[in-house]
Amino acid sequence: MDYILEMNNISKTFPGVKALDGVQLKVKPGEVHALMGENGAGKSTLMKILMGIYTMDEGGEIRFNGQPYHVHNPKEAMDTGVAMIHQELNPILDMTVYENIFVGREIRKYGLVDKKAEIEEAKKLIADSGLHVSPTETLRNLTVAQCQLIEIIKAISVNAKVIVMDEPTAAITDREVELLFGHIRKLKEKGVAIIYISHRMDEIFAICDNVTVYRDGQYIGTGTTQELDEAALIKMMVGREITDVFPKLEAEIGETIFEAKHIVRADNKVRDVSISVRRGEILGIGGLVGAGRSELVEGIFGMHKLSGGEIYVKGKKIRVSSPRDIIKEGVALITEDRKVTGLNLSGTVNDNISMVAIRKTLSGGLYSKTKARQVSSEYIGKLKIKTPSGDQIVNNLSGGNQQKVVIAKWLLNDPDIIIMDEPTRGIDVGAKRDIYLLIGSLVQEGKAVIIISSEIPELMGVCDRIAVMAEGHLSGELDRSQFSQETIMTLASDIAV
């Protein structure tokens, strides 16, 4: 079988980091090829080399369609037939859909951009894809999933032979994932090859044909999803067997420490939802993406106006008009949203982690930089944050490792009630396990944890109780003895009457 893409002996060195060390990737036309590996294994780096964003070290070779392949930027890659759909594509939000589709390859008439022709052509492409947006809509008004589809449309229209998708499902709803998979299947039929990066095993087995695994910048191997199972893949990624993917530590359950009663959001995205959690307890909030789970906790956190509801922390009624009011009471909200978590991407790992530690050391009187650094390195170790040192800029960390910095930062604040919104999204299996153990040790100390997750096995594995939401309301609550994938799914698809 001929390969459409062959990458051989690819290396990439960053200051202090050998991100890739002689790896290979061979992709056939019409296949979905998964790239897997722990956070920081080098997946995104390899794809950035393919797109001409990074230059590889000497000695590597890339062949596309049998020919030597040299590109210097994403536009050249696209012109050659390689497109990438990434999460942080930074679309220019004021651009219209049709402008985005034709950027850099405008249709011209007498030397001028022929807007009318572009709009017409875009309309056809959009209709073909089953998307319902106007070509003149600005990207700002589209959802992440719609922006992704526009990128796919663009890739199809330039006749891309290889399309890279780096964690494409991280920010889209389950229904949209199904739509995306539909598009992937159509692309396959046309002979387009997809390189698919994801940490979600279910997706790998649902949509991918082959898997290539890297570990610490090294090539480990390639196999088919037919012959590999989850355990084998984990072993390739982590280098050892992990038997209990969702470890649960025993903790003593005490009194109710947090209660939100009859929460109603002014925008009606949450309607009469009550939840509570006890010391030592882990409460899960399940449901489909878009069910109002994040909206609930953001409402509780004072980030959105509530039109009804009461919040009690340690038995005391709290008035929350801004996040500060509730953080002060010892409640933390860990989300992926960097605006909320205040991750300073251009700051170092130490800056970010010790920002909180500084406040802590200050309350003891004097600020000690040494102390702050000590605390920071303790958490780099605890969460196995992959970084050459605490002085690395956060922006240079891999996606999953940035998320670990967010978690470290909040834990340092020593909250009593920790609400986590999809804490392990984008995080590899081994590191997920570390995070569950950490959560376990927190509840053993008498803290309470609320976890929002779209992964049912994760919720069933680590929670004591699961509240399920559907369409903005609470559709049910289950004790550990009542947990089953089916029950949770049924409750999650409950439609409000």
Ligand X SMILES: Nc1ncnc2c1ncn2[C@@H]1O[C@H](COP(=O)(O)OP(=O)(O)OP(=O)(O)O)[C@@H](O)[C@H]1O
Binding site for ligand X (CB under 6 A): 14, 17, 19, 37, 39-45, 386, 396-401
- Residue 195 site contact among ligand X, Mg ion, none (CB < 5 to 8 Å, cut-off depends on kind): none
Interacting stretch for Mg ion, rule CB under 5 A, among 37-45, 106-114, 347-355, 360-368? 37-45
**168 or 399: CB nearest Mg ion:** 399
- Residue 425 Cβ, how far from Mg ion at the closest point, in Å? 12
**427 or 478: CB nearest Mg ion:** 427
- Residue 217 Cβ, how far from Mg ion at the closest point, in Å? 13
Tokens 């289950």 belong to residue: 478
Give the three-state DSSP class for 196.
Answer: strand
**260 or 394: CB nearest ligand X:** 394
Q: Is 426 in the site for Mg ion (CB under 5 A)?
A: no
**172 or 468: CB nearest ligand X:** 172
**6 or 216: CB nearest ligand X:** 216
Ramachandran region of residue 101, left (φ > 0), alpha (ψ -120 to 50) or beta? alpha
- From 11, 44, 80, 169, residue interacting with Mg ion (rule: CB under 5 A): 44
CA–CA separation, 117 and 109 (whole Å): 9
Spell out the residues 6+ positions from residue 379 whose beta carbon is closer than 8 angstroms to its own: 353, 385, 408, 411, 412
Closest CA to 358 of 346, 376, 341, 384: 376
DSSP designation for 269: S
Structure tokens at 407: 């978690």
Closest CA to 385 of 352, 355, 356: 352
CA–CA separation, 497 and 490 (whole Å): 15
| Count of positions (residues) in the chain | 497
Q: Is 198 in the site for Mg ion (CB under 5 A)?
A: no
- Residue 19 site contact among Mg ion, ligand X, none (CB < 5 to 8 Å, cut-off depends on kind): ligand X
Structure tokens at 434: 């570390």
- Residue 4 site contact among Mg ion, ligand X, none (CB < 5 to 8 Å, cut-off depends on kind): none
* Window 101 to 120, contacts with Mg ion (CB under 5 A): none
Instruction: Please give the size of the binding site for Mg ion, defined by CB under 5 A.
Output: 3
**45 or 341: CB nearest ligand X:** 45
The neighbour count for residue 468, using CB atoms within 10 Å, is 26
CA–CA separation, 202 and 34 (whole Å): 12
How many CA atoms lie within 13 Å of 254's alpha carbon, on the beta-carbon side?
14
Structure tokens at 443: 């509840």
CB 167 within 8 A of CB 198: yes
Interacting stretch for Mg ion, rule CB under 5 A, among 41-49, 81-89, 129-137, 457-465? 41-49
Interacting stretch for Mg ion, rule CB under 5 A, among 39-47, 60-68, 261-269, 292-300? 39-47
CB 334 within 8 A of CB 420: yes
CA–CA separation, 192 and 81 (whole Å): 10
- Residue 297 Cβ, how far from ligand X at the closest point, in Å? 24
- Residue 292 Cβ, how far from ligand X at the closest point, in Å? 28
Question: What is the DSSP code string of 203-253?
Answer: HHHHH-SEEEEEETTEEEEEEETTT--HHHHHHHHHSS--S-SS-------
Tokens 């610490």 belong to residue: 216
CA–CA separation, 15 and 13 (whole Å): 7
- Residue 37 site contact among Mg ion, ligand X, none (CB < 5 to 8 Å, cut-off depends on kind): ligand X
- Residue 56 Cβ, how far from Mg ion at the closest point, in Å? 17
- Residue 181 Cβ, how far from ligand X at the closest point, in Å? 21
- Residue 245 Cβ, how far from ligand X at the closest point, in Å? 17
- Residue 464 Cβ, how far from Mg ion at the closest point, in Å? 33
- Residue 402 Cβ, how far from ligand X at the closest point, in Å? 8
**217 or 399: CB nearest Mg ion:** 399
Q: In one letter, which amino acid is 332?
A: A
**42 or 472: CB nearest ligand X:** 42
Task: Specify the DSSP element, H or E, that contains 274.
Answer: strand 273-278
Closest CA to 335 of 393, 409, 254: 409
**24 or 413: CB nearest ligand X:** 24
* Window 379 to 418, contacts with Mg ion (CB under 5 A): 398-399
**11 or 453: CB nearest ligand X:** 11
Number of helices (H), then strands (E), in the chain: 17, 22
Interacting stretch for Mg ion, rule CB under 5 A, among 40-48, 210-218, 295-303, 442-450? 40-48
- Residue 14 site contact among ligand X, Mg ion, none (CB < 5 to 8 Å, cut-off depends on kind): ligand X
**335 or 398: CB nearest Mg ion:** 398
- Residue 167 Cβ, how far from ligand X at the closest point, in Å? 7
- Residue 426 Cβ, how far from Mg ion at the closest point, in Å? 8
Residues found near Mg ion in the complex (CB under 5 A):
44, 398-399
